[in-house]
Amino acid sequence: MNLPRTTLLLKKITRDTPLDVPINVRCLHLTDINLKKQAGRYKKTPRGDKPLTYEMAYAPHRIAHYKSWNSWNTANLLDGLRPAETLQEDAFIRKFMTGTWHRLFLSEIIIKRQHNLIRIAGIIHQAIPPRKLYFLIGYTEELLAYWLQCPIKLELQTVPNRSDVTFKYI
Amino acid sequence: MKLKYLLRAVQKYKCSYKSYSTEVEIDIPKRIPRGPTDILKALASTVKRDPTAPHYKYHDDPYLIPYNNFTKRSYALSQESGRKAARWIRQQHKELFQHKIAEPLIEAFIPTPEYNENSEVDEEILKKLINNGFVSDALFVYNLLRNKKIDITPSTKQSLLEFVCFTNEDEPISEDWISERWFLMGMKNQKDSNTWKNGGLAEQLFYELKSDVPSSYSAIICGMCKYFQVSKAFEIYSEAQSKNIILNVETYNSLISKAKFVNESHPKIWELIQTLLNEMAERKIKPNVKTLNSVLESLSKMNTNRNAKTYALNTIAEFKSLNIEPSLVSLYYLLEICSRNKSQLSSMLSAILDYASNKNFTIRDKKDISFFSKAMEVCSKLKDKDLLYRLHELLLTGNNYNLIGDSFSESVYYRYFFYLLTDTEELSKVMEFYDDLVPNVYVPEPSVTNAILKAVCNNMAWDLLPKLWSDILLFEQYEVSGVLENILDIASQNEDKNLMEGMSKIAWSAWEKIEGIKRERSNFQWSASALGNIILILLKSGEKAKANLVMNKLIQLGSSAMNEPKIEALSLYVDSCIESSSPDVAIKCIQYCNDIGFTETTEFARRINSSIELNPRQYEKLTSIVGEDCLKVEKKKDQSR
């Protein structure tokens, strides 16, 4: 029997309550909980032609099983230092990178911290000549170093086509 | 039974216990004092440079790895220019970069203050600027202080004087720009000309200071010597002497190294050096390694003198008795001193290598970095491969590679290295080094590539050609004069049947590469011999259609192309035309042969006439080129047969 729960409840009421309760009483009204989870998940397209990277293809609960974290640091462990600042700085770095390396990053921006060193990794598109990429590397490393006042290193990999990072289509 | 066994076991145990407990003196080693970075150094010493990986200043990604000298330079400098852009942004938006995260504050991350007429300045700021080496800022602040009539203590003035003398009021390239300094070629070619700023700030400061601060004499003399205002330096020196002022050791060093500029004749120069040295001894000034180097530098300038070598060796011996070991540049000067005489040079270099082998050198003189390239040049001059191996081993000992200098002297070193190897060593060994060093450590210049190609040719090692050709493509040397011609010439001499396909691939890729370049961008011109070689190679491996294309180009260029193709190629081409019975193409070829003026033209014509049935039009054309007589003679001969 697949009736909506409200009906079930009504039936229950009619059976269990004393007869003096009128039948048209307003009872507790319940609907299903909406367990819709959206963050970090991608919607299917009707044509099924939306490219996803490996990272995008797995939902957040797969982290540490099928995929890994995007920020690596110890700020949130017991006695970790500067948890709030680290989060805010990471957000800043991601904004800075997507803006400075416009349409070049094909993967998530991975930020790894060790002591005072910040390593920023990712996969970029070979859309501009290496010379210009080197300019951007130098610029990014230096400017972020001034901003965050610690040594910054970029660890980039390049791919010739955007489709090279596609893991599946949905 | 069991008891017996147990007893034996106990005895055994006793025995072994005894042997352990014998009174052996435990020798606890003395504590070795370690520095804070010693463990890092020990760890670093376990890592050797990996020749298969690019230098660590480049990104380790196939797209971002540079493969030729041009890209090596441009990538490194691009990155540095990006860093400069970031610094510019920081300076433009100073107010945004004033936050302080690092604890303690790291000044390098904070924008540097700028000064204008209204800035509040004091002596402390000037001192700081001098310590940090900001030339123009220091000069500006100094002028500001003077205009505001703020007094400066003589000690600060003295340090400003030393600073100005050291830099000659020019802003040097900051040490932050490592790549720029690495790729700077001008350092070597710096002319020994007088660049001292006469009547500049240094001299003003000196005249203000000289009565109060005796060390101002030392500073100004050093500065003048450094920038080749030598005669004035010696004037001030004699003034200091008359006032009985004691100069420091650096001053004597710089005077000694410039002794050549005040005296013409060699004996006088040597005399001057000796008086200076004696004076140092009198005044109890202890010489250092730079004193030795200065003496040798002056001696190296007079290497035409017979006594120079004796003087030099005596000097080194004397300094050794003072416990001053020669540094690398001392050895460099020794080579310079002996450079006139080949046999002397050879014995000197081998003695130097005896002395230096397995030694770990650190930089003790700014010019130490010039030794290795010079020594390799000498090796190549002497054509002595044993010396070469010993020198190379020395370079790879410990951290000696740090003393190779800059990109220029590194490539000079490897250039002579490969010149000598290709001359004297067997090819397999050369290729071993080649595989090891190219392209990550060194990219051969066209002349070196040609030398290697020549060695390949002499050894008939055609199997190496495909690899070399792919390298040439990688280094973008195919357009450089000679390289393309050479490799095609060698490939055309190939006799190995199995390699024919590889050769034809080379020839065809060369053709496609050159034809693919836009004409406006390059001024490459086909030489007829190169085209001829391509035709020859293609025909040898049976690629007629491709050969036709190249032949068309050859005919189109006609006599405007440089030199002439091999007759062998044309003959083979005519044969192939006969084989495929295409007389029109063959006649075109003969027309070309005639235009160029080959004597074999008539022979080709006869060959065609005798082996292919020509229609009247073709026959007419052929006769118009070589004349009817030749063909007729041939016919008659045939008939008589």
Tell me whether residues A132 and B78 touch, CB distance under 8 A: yes
With contacts defined as CB-CB under 8 Å, which chain B residues touch A157? 61
pLDDT at position B554 over 60: yes
The region of weakest confidence among A120-134, B79-93, B610-624 is B610-624
Considering only CB atoms, which residues of chain B are within 8 Å of chain A?
A: 59, 61-64, 66, 71, 74-76, 78-87, 89-90, 97, 100-102, 106, 109
- What pLDDT score does B119 carry? 81
Nearest CA in chain A to B89: A143
Judged by average pLDDT, the poorest of A82-86, A142-146, B516-520 is B516-520
Q: Is A137 an 8 Å CB contact of chain B?
A: yes
Q: Is residue A8 predicted with pLDDT exceeding 60?
A: no
**pLDDT tens-digit readout, A17-40:** 555 666 676 677 778 777 788 888
A135 interaction partners in chain B (CB closer than 8 Å): 78-79, 81-82, 85
User: pLDDT tens digits for B203-251?
Assistant: 888 888 888 788 889 999 999 998 888 888 999 999 988 988 888 999 9
> Which pLDDT band holds residue B187 (cuts at 50, 70, 90)?
low
User: Average model confidence (pLDDT) for chain B?
Assistant: 85
**Does B80 score more than 50 pLDDT?**
yes
Provide the pLDDT for residue A18: 56
* Mean pLDDT over the full length of chain A: 87
Q: B64 vs A147: CB contact, 8 Å cut-off?
A: no
Q: What is the mean pLDDT of residues B482-489?
A: 86
Structure confidence by residue, pLDDT tens digits, B158-176: 999 999 999 888 888 888 8
Cα–chain center distance at A23? 50
| Helix residue ranges, H only, B201-341 | 201-209, 215-226, 230-242, 249-257, 266-282, 289-301, 308-321, 328-338
pLDDT at B640 over 50: no
Alpha carbon distance B408, B58 (integer Å): 18
What is the tens place of the pLDDT at every residue in B302-325?
Answer: 878 888 888 999 999 999 999 999
Cβ within 8 Å, pair A139-B86: yes
pLDDT tens digits for A146-156? Answer: 999 999 999 99
pLDDT of B68 > 60? The answer is: yes
Q: pLDDT tens, B389-428?
A: 999 999 988 888 889 888 888 989 999 999 999 999 889 9
Residues of B in contact with A138 (CB under 8 A): 78-86
> What pLDDT sits at residue B416?
93
Cα dihedral sign, A156-A162-A164-A168: positive
Q: From the candidates B88, B96, B109, B179, which should be mutated to test the interface with A, based on the most A CB atoms within 10 A?
A: B109
Asked whether the predicted pLDDT for residue B458 surpasses 70, the reply is: yes
Q: What is the 3-state secondary structure (H, E, C) of B443-457?
A: CCCHHHHHHHHHHHH
Q: Which of B247-251, B492-496, B547-551, B602-606 has the highest mean pLDDT?
A: B247-251
pLDDT at B398: 82
Percentage of residues in chain B having pLDDT higher than 70: 93
CA distance B410 to chain A (A): 23
Classify the C-alpha dihedral B126-B128-B131-B136 as positive or negative.
Answer: negative
Q: Which residue has the tokens 């060699």?
A: B266
Phi-psi region at B403: left, alpha or beta (left = phi > 0; alpha = psi -120 to 50): alpha
Q: How confident is the model at residue B641 (pLDDT cuts 50, 70, 90)?
A: very low
Strand (E) or helix (H) holding B386:
helix B385-396
What is the distance of C-alpha B194 from the center of its chain? 27
CB contacts of B97 in chain A (<8 Å) are 146-147
pLDDT in tens, B370-380: 899 999 999 99
Distances (CA, A) of B501 to B455, B474, B624: 22, 21, 39
Confidence of residue B526 (pLDDT cuts 50, 70, 90): confident
Which pLDDT value is given to residue A19? 58
